[in-house]
């Protein structure tokens, strides 16, 4: 088991590394060339810029049972199809019960934007968001580790 992170816009990289260190889990952060990341614990993979370039490289390195941190519903759907686990930056665990609805909501939002309708404003990230992520992420890591035993 390893943790793969769609790290370009991931606000919880420090939290991921902190938990992974405690549990002795390998972390791989994927970024494109327009970002920089210096982390003494994680392996950092830099991918050329391009539409979905990071996602494609990340997907090609997933094995069954891995954990992927992403806020991209499309990437999460592919992760689930590879029998891996996916969680977003707020601690939402993607699964077969919620991914179809999330993809459909994303589609509707895209249609509304194309029609000129504005979406809602994104709320600022809070400490509570980070705490919720840490709890859910740690629980997910422990659950996957227990399944491997």
Query: Rounded mean pLDDT of 84-113?
Result: 78
CB atoms within 10 A of CB 64: 9
Whole-angstrom distance, CA of residue 1 vs CA of residue 67: 7
Query: Rounded mean pLDDT of 97-123?
Result: 69
Whole-angstrom distance, CA of residue 6 vs CA of residue 82: 16
Whole-angstrom distance, CA of residue 9 vs CA of residue 115: 27
10 Å CB burial of residue 80 (0-12, 13-18, 19+) is middle
pLDDT at 99 (0 to 100): 73
pLDDT, mean over the chain: 89
Q: Is the predicted pLDDT of residue 18 greater than 80, yes or no?
A: yes
Per-domain boundaries in the chain: 2-148
pLDDT at 9 (0 to 100): 86
Q: Is the predicted pLDDT of residue 75 greater than 80, yes or no?
A: yes
Q: Taking the CA atoms of the chain, what radius of gyration do you get in angstroms?
A: 15
pLDDT at 104 (0 to 100): 61
Instruction: Supply φ then ψ for residue 26, to 5 degrees.
Output: -70, 140
pLDDT at 103 (0 to 100): 65
pLDDT at 120 (0 to 100): 64
The class level of CATH for 2-148 reads alpha beta
Q: How confident is the model at residue 22 (pLDDT cuts 50, 70, 90)?
A: very high
pLDDT at 145 (0 to 100): 96
């Amino acid at each position: 088991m390893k943790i793969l992170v769609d790290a370009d816009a991931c606000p919880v990289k420090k939290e991921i590394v902190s938990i992974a260190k405690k549990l002795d889990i390998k972390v791989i952060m994927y970024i494109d060339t327009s970002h920089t990341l210096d982390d003494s614990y994680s392996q950092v993979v830099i991918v050329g810029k391009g539409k979905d370039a990071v996602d494609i490289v990340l997907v090609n390195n997933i094995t069954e049972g891995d954990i992927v941190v992403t806020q991209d519903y499309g990437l999460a759907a592919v992760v689930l199809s590879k029998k891996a686990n996916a969680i977003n930056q707020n601690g939402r665990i993607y699964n077969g019960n919620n991914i179809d609805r999330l993809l459909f909501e994303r589609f509707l939002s895209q249609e509304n934007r194309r029609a000129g309708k504005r979406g809602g404003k994104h709320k600022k990230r809070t400490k509570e968001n980070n705490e919720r992520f840490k709890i859910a992420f740690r629980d997910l890591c422990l659950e996957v580790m227990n399944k491997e035993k």
